[in-house]
Structure 1
């Protein structure tokens, strides 16, 4: 259920901690250690598929990939769409398929959805420079960076060159000030390619609060969670490490704040419902809905799993099938939600990596999503 103390965050509670996600669409950093594998494994439930729906998923391959091993010590998977209902959990993860977890950078999809809703309401446009909405936030000598460039990771923002002192609890404004420190590199012009950067979505969180006069957490609840009945989905308060049970992993290892770029809590059923609603047009007007699948020119030539649409959706081709979604990591878990274009098939997964090799893990996740969709 929704954490009551987080259902309405006052905009004045501004102290926040940020996990600075610098680059890498799927996994920025992985924990090599595994949680104790003491929990009994649950056998995946039988799959049911509509007789005239999409081809049934390869559940035998899914079960093989979910078995604890050298790549992942435990995995939770939920499939849905077009008559398919299938869940399974293995290894040290909670055996409750509705367990709560920090969704990491999947948060960015909620942020871009809010931004597109505000565009549809005429608050600003996709081409509005962020400097017009947040005057004084970026250095005056920088060229304009548009809302669309932030969503699509084509802003040219570079990675920070200085780190926060341990124990710092910066506000969003301080995070951006850190990213724009004069000692660090300014955006390079012209921007030649997409570069995944959490700073883009911190700025978008600030845009949401400026345009609405409400906190980011409040807008998530008012515009997405409550209308869709997402009772386990919310943006925690600053410094809140707690998770309402049941939980997927030890919350003590969670970074206390990542806000509009990676800080939200949800669970597999809620993420499935959100993704289905988003792709089927329940949350956006038609003009903004098209941005979900519009690929910026700068995405050409980018690796398959590092390409993002104008709305920040990952575009991923598996065996000739195009799927859309987002990955995220927080604590010891790495998670993702993917779907075919109209939500005909969805998959939500969360796993505990047992390897520190990001390429190996990405390959494993690709096989997992391919077997599911």
Structure 2
């Protein structure tokens, strides 16, 4: 594999720690009001009002994006779809073209997990396959076996600390070694109930597994299995060294970002493509039933709210359950979520001007409340 041109250890630290998502998980609080003990999430019927015929509230949605005077976001875009119609709105610097491309960050993991589950369905992988057997030399052989399912659901217990060389460039395998061979990191958590700890290294390993099993690049497999069949013309995995966007971009004033996050968080897409991808994934077009059910099942010990299939699950304050993924990279903070019955979906991309997490969280939750 060609080495990445990355020469920025600050990103390596973030990737190894899984910060590409953790810093924005509050967009839809994955750990909130989960079903007791894991398993399949269940709706708390007593707290959920019937919203099956709720019309889209355009005024509330536009208000949820805020204004430039807020000083919170340079720009914001949201696209709402579902059975009750469609709405797209923008605010500030992204308003030129709401269908333009942006860096989706950790939403990339949904594409990675989908390819992995397809390979499981084909019998080329199993959920119980240890990564030590699948990718010899990447994870110490003396560690307790770490399975494909544990990587998907963030229950691998892999350490999140990393050791890196500020002057080095890293391939995915080398990036993994900055974690697994780092004395400060220690060994992974073990036991029958390993806590869910979001860790981007899990998805570097899954990307490597895809390439090992198929003999093709991660980008080729995403194209062949997902973007081409679904007609996602604006969704792709940037090549190593590709810092620009191939189509008009949201908030084009942002500096170019290195494409290093790869299978963990490096993809580019746009709102219509993300809406179509998540809709078709939840509808069952991309996976057979045995793997489809994993998208909605929580591990037994699931503090973070990621399902066995790697999907982010949240129950909103009014009881509405949603599935999807949030992500942040290259100046963009994004999310794509939908109800399981596809009554309503939302895609958003925001350009924060502040690091005040509480204020950002309030805006995320406001968008979610207006959308669903």
TM exceeds 0.5? Answer: yes
TM-score class, shorter: 0.7 to 0.9
Q: After superposition, give the CA deviation of every residue in 1:233-255 in whole Å (9 maximum; x if it has no partner).
A: 00011121110231013453423
Equivalent residues in 2 for 1:61-76, closer than 5 Å: 61-68=60-67, 69-76=70-77
Matching of residue 106 in structure 1 with residue 110 in structure 2: no
**Gap runs ≥5 in structure 1:** 1-11, 31-51
- Counterpart CA distance in 2 for 1:206 and 1:231 is 25
Query: Do the aligned residues in 2 keep the contact of 1:27 with 1:334 (CA within 8 Å)?
Result: no
Alignment-derived partner of residue 351 in structure 1: 350
- Counterpart CA distance in 2 for 1:215 and 1:90 is 37
Alignment-derived partner of residue 46 in structure 1: none
TM-score normalised by L of structure 2:
0.85
Provide the secondary structure at the position in 1 that maps to 2:301. helix
Equivalent residues in 2 for 1:328-339, closer than 5 Å: 328-339=327-338
Alignment-derived partner of residue 37 in structure 2: none
- Counterpart CA distance in 2 for 1:329 and 1:269 is 18
Provide the secondary structure at the position in 2 that maps to 1:292. helix
Q: Which of 228, 231, 236 does residue 229 from structure 1 map onto?
A: 231
Matching of residue 13 in structure 1 with residue 2 in structure 2: yes
* Cα offset, 1:144, TM superposition: 0.2
* Cα offset, 1:24, TM superposition: 5.2
Alignment-derived partner of residue 44 in structure 2: none
Alignment-derived partner of residue 143 in structure 1: 144
Alignment-derived partner of residue 179 in structure 1: 179
Query: Do the aligned residues in 2 keep the contact of 1:67 with 1:74 (CA within 8 Å)?
Result: no
* Cα offset, 1:366, TM superposition: 1.7
Provide the secondary structure at the position in 1 that maps to 2:369. helix
Query: Do the aligned residues in 1 keep the contact of 2:24 with 2:326 (CA within 8 Å)?
Result: no
Structure 1 residues 91 and 285: CA distance shift in structure 2, 3 A: same
* Cα offset, 1:372, TM superposition: 0.4
Alignment-derived partner of residue 39 in structure 2: none
Equivalent residues in 2 for 1:240-319, closer than 5 Å: 240-249=242-251, 250=253, 252-299=255-302, 302=303, 306-318=304-316, 319=318
Q: After superposition, give the CA deviation of every residue in 1:291-344 in whole Å (9 maximum; x if it has no partner).
A: 000100110xx2xxx310011111111110100111111122100000001322
- Counterpart CA distance in 2 for 1:362 and 1:185 is 32
* Cα offset, 1:29, TM superposition: 7.6
Query: Do the aligned residues in 2 keep the contact of 1:243 with 1:251 (CA within 8 Å)?
Result: no
* Cα offset, 1:193, TM superposition: 1.1
Q: Which of 213, 216, 230 does residue 214 from structure 1 map onto?
A: 216
TM-score normalised by L of structure 1:
0.85
Query: Do the aligned residues in 2 keep the contact of 1:156 with 1:189 (CA within 8 Å)?
Result: yes
Alignment length (residue pairs)? 335
Query: Do the aligned residues in 2 keep the contact of 1:272 with 1:347 (CA within 8 Å)?
Result: yes
Alignment-derived partner of residue 43 in structure 2: none
Matching of residue 123 in structure 1 with residue 112 in structure 2: no
- Counterpart CA distance in 2 for 1:24 and 1:87 is 29
- Counterpart CA distance in 2 for 1:189 and 1:131 is 15
**Gap runs ≥5 in structure 2:** 26-50
Query: Do the aligned residues in 2 keep the contact of 1:276 with 1:342 (CA within 8 Å)?
Result: no
Equivalent residues in 2 for 1:21-60, closer than 5 Å: 21=15, 22-23=17-18, 26-28=21-23, 54-60=53-59
* Cα offset, 1:358, TM superposition: 2.1
Query: Do the aligned residues in 1 keep the contact of 2:21 with 2:106 (CA within 8 Å)?
Result: no
Q: Which moved more, 1:65-74 or 1:285-294?
A: 65-74
Alignment-derived partner of residue 202 in structure 2: 200
Alignment-derived partner of residue 169 in structure 2: 169
Alignment-derived partner of residue 47 in structure 1: none
Matching of residue 132 in structure 1 with residue 127 in structure 2: no
Query: Do the aligned residues in 1 keep the contact of 2:234 with 2:268 (CA within 8 Å)?
Result: yes
* Cα offset, 1:59, TM superposition: 2.4
